[in-house]
Amino acid sequence: MWIFWALGAAIAAALVIVLTKAGLKNVDSSLAFAIQSVFIFLICWGVILVQGNFGDLKQIDNKAWIMLIAAGVATTLSTLFSFKALSMGPASYVVTIERLSLVFAIILSIIFLKEKVTWQLLTGAAIMVAGAVLVALSESKD
């Protein structure tokens, strides 16, 4: 079942890139992210309230709070950097380089989460790196 959620996330992320690039034409990238953040905040807390999970806040331990706050900071920085890159370069190029995050996530997951290394995982990561290099070295029209 997780694969359907992951595919939904991929489609939504693609929409974010295209819609953000279109919306950045005459808008500062940080301001654009701030506008989107208001909707992220409202929708996320709305889902929590509808699901009735608000009371679960008190069950979160200190280590989880630290990890979730650090992830929130990383999310914010990632999005600010992504929006800035989108404001300057073509979306297809920016997103290809940005998605090297998948390779970095694989490396960090192996190191910190002790996830299993397989030849398929390494081959897939190598193909992603090769694709990003190919795109980065190609000529952009923007």
Backbone angles phi, psi at 56, to 5 degrees: -70, -15
pLDDT tens per residue across span 66-83: 999 999 999 999 999 999
Q: What is the pLDDT of residue 131?
A: 92
Tell me which residues of the chain have a pLDDT lower than 50.
none
pTM, two decimal places: 0.85
Q: What is the pLDDT of residue 137?
A: 86
Helix, strand, coil % in the chain, rounded to nearest 5: 80, 0, 20
Q: What pLDDT sits at residue 34? A: 96
The domain limits of the chain are 1-88, 89-142
Rounded (5°) CA angle 126-12-36: 115
pLDDT of residue 138: 86
